[in-house]
Structure 1
Amino acid sequence: MTAQPPVSVVIATCDRPGKLERAVRAVLDQDYAGSVQCLVVYDGVEVRPLAVDVPPGRELVHLANARTKGLPGGRNTGCDAASGELLAFCDDDDCWQPDKLRRQVEALLADPAGVAVTCGVRLAGPGIDRDRPGPTRPVTLDDLLADRIMEVHPSTLLVPRSTVAAAGPVDEDIPGGYAEDYEWLLRIAALGPIAVVPAPLVVVEWHGGSFFFGRWATIVDALRYLLERHPEFARSKHGTARIRGQIAFALAASGRRREALRELRTVARLNPAEKRIAATMPVLAGLVSGERVLALAQSRGRGV
């Protein structure tokens, strides 16, 4: 890797005027001395050239999603067109701190064993403004099987092109594109440790909802797909219980009570302390909706 490797940043978007410009400016205004290419990939909407200043040493590219409709296809379209030695993603409603790239490149250069580098995040939104520092040591595949580690977020990752080539593209077949970032991350971590800059270098907009809010059937199908694609979950009882607990919750929230109970029995055998058992039971009993439980968790900067 060169001392100041060129970086390509992919922002896949359905277009959010104002927020998209903010994300792009934060990428182009990095204090990194190397070149930065920002690729804005429009998915399902007309390409809209952005009226933002492009400083020297920076490039702004606008293009349409040429692959499967959805976030995975948009990200892969950007990767296909990227020219940088290092690759990053940024969600269109997130915002990088000015020193993100510089500090992450320094961390990669200092850790030849690292296959990628992540950082901490700041959650910002209605009722929340909280720093979530990244892990204090490199993140391994076993770490990610046991826990999703939300700080290892798509907008935090910086990945050498050699890692991208070895891991393969973002999975466009995962149902609904749900958890595509986590699935890709597992393949990256299988190649080696992920270095960490613990500082919160990305501001993640946390608005208590997502594209998948209430899309329970899609969540069930995607998580079952994830377990099937990654048999290495078998070596982590806690990790398997976590995923199957999420499946049980989504089944309960969608009214599929018998299936949810079967999943919960499996979860209890794997890890009786799995917190999603307690989250699912009142939904099964009809005391509260799945949407209400999820909204409460998200108001505290968490998921289910």
Structure 2
Amino acid sequence: MAFCDDDDQWAPDKLSRQVAALGDGDFATCAIEVEYRDRRTPRLAGCDRVTVEQLARSRMAMLHSSSFLIRRTALTDSSRLGLVAEDAPGSQNEDWDLLFRAARRAPIVHVDQPLVRVLWGRTSHYAYEYATKISSLRWMMARHPEIHGCPPGAARVYGQLACWSAASGNRADAWRWTREAVRANWKEPRAAIALAALSRTVRVDQVLSALHRRGRGI
């Protein structure tokens, strides 16, 4: 089975290259090309296998759900991988959760070529739904203790929580999550973004828009 959002595009050889790489595995991904306004940016993983440790350290945004190729028997068998989680807040981070569950069984096969074009900023309903972003990140932290156990990965999530809290006007939570991010990894750049937002030097949505132009997110 393969996933594709209705506003994304596959390269003609996307499936054939993934099938060839998959072998007897259950799960394959590929790199993506992000299209935002007038710019296209390739996002590569730099590897051909993805582990739980990598997913705990980084969301690995290039492993987009529109790149997923999953053996049907693994997806429908709860003793192997199982279906997409239905309780993910706002259906956010359900793809990251699925990647975690797959990588626990075996490293995920990855074709590190941008075989999917992902369109940003056109139909993303949740781009600025900060409360949903906060709920979904806390849901992920509760489900996957590996994130807590990886200081850089935990700091990244705490930094995101700080940014979304600042953007939603919850200054107390923004300060709390910023402190947690710095404690876990003082180099975490999202803590600096949150501090700038708290001091009203910048707005989070401005930073997010600038990063999107580079194929990145907070």
Aligning the two structures, in what range does the TM-score lie when normalised by the shorter sequence?
A: over 0.9
Q: Distance in 1 between matches of 2:31 and 2:45?
A: 4
5+ unaligned residues in a row in structure 1: which ranges?
A: 1-86
Structure 2 counterpart of 1:253: 167
Alpha-carbon RMSD across the aligned residues, in angstroms, is 1.6
Partner in structure 1 of residue 21 of structure 2: 107
**2:48 counterpart (137, 142, 149):** 137
Q: Counterpart of 1:81?
A: none
The match for 1:211 among 101, 111, 125 is 125
> Are the aligned partners of 1:116 and 1:158 in contact in 2 as well (CA < 8 Å)?
yes
- 5+ residue gaps, structure 2, are none
- CA positional deviation for 1:125: 3.5
The answer as to whether partners of 1:119 and 1:151 remain within 8 angstroms in 2 is yes
Opposite residue 166 of structure 2, the aligned amino acid is A
- After TM superposition, what 4+ stretches of structure 1 lie above 6 angstroms from structure 2? none
Alpha-carbon distance in structure 2 between the residues aligned to 1:190 and 1:150: 18
Which residue in the other structure is 1:290 paired with?
A: 204
Distance in 1, Cα, partners of 2:84 & 2:180: 30
Map 1:85-164 to 2 at 5 A: 87-109=1-23, 112=24, 114-164=25-75
Q: Give the alignment partner of residue 188 of structure 2, picking from 274, 286, 293.
A: 274
**Whole-angstrom CA distance in 1 between matches of 2:184 and 2:176:** 13
Larger Rg: 1
1:234 correspondence with 2:145: no
The within-5 A match list for 1:178-197 is: 178-197=92-111
Contact 2:40–2:215 under 8 Å retained in 1: no
Match of 2:50, SS state, is coil
Q: Using the alignment, how far apart are the partners of 1:286 and 1:132 within structure 2? A: 31
Contact 1:128 1:299 in 2 (8 A): yes
Measure how far apart 1:208 and its partner are.
Answer: 6.9
Counterpart of 2:216 in structure 1 is 302
Structure-1 separation of matches of 2:128 and 2:63 = 24
Deviations 1:219-263 (A, max 9, x none): 111111110111222321111111111111100111111111111
Residues 125 and 246 (structure 1), Cα distance of their counterparts in 2 relative to 1, 3 Å cut: closer
Q: Hey, what does 1:79 align to over in structure 2?
A: none
Please give the alpha-carbon distance, in whole angstroms, between the structure 1 residues aligned to 2:49 and 2:39: 27
The residue aligned with 1:265 is 179
Paired residues, number: 215
Is contact 1:132–1:151 with CA below 8 Å preserved after alignment? yes
Contact 1:163 1:188 in 2 (8 A): no
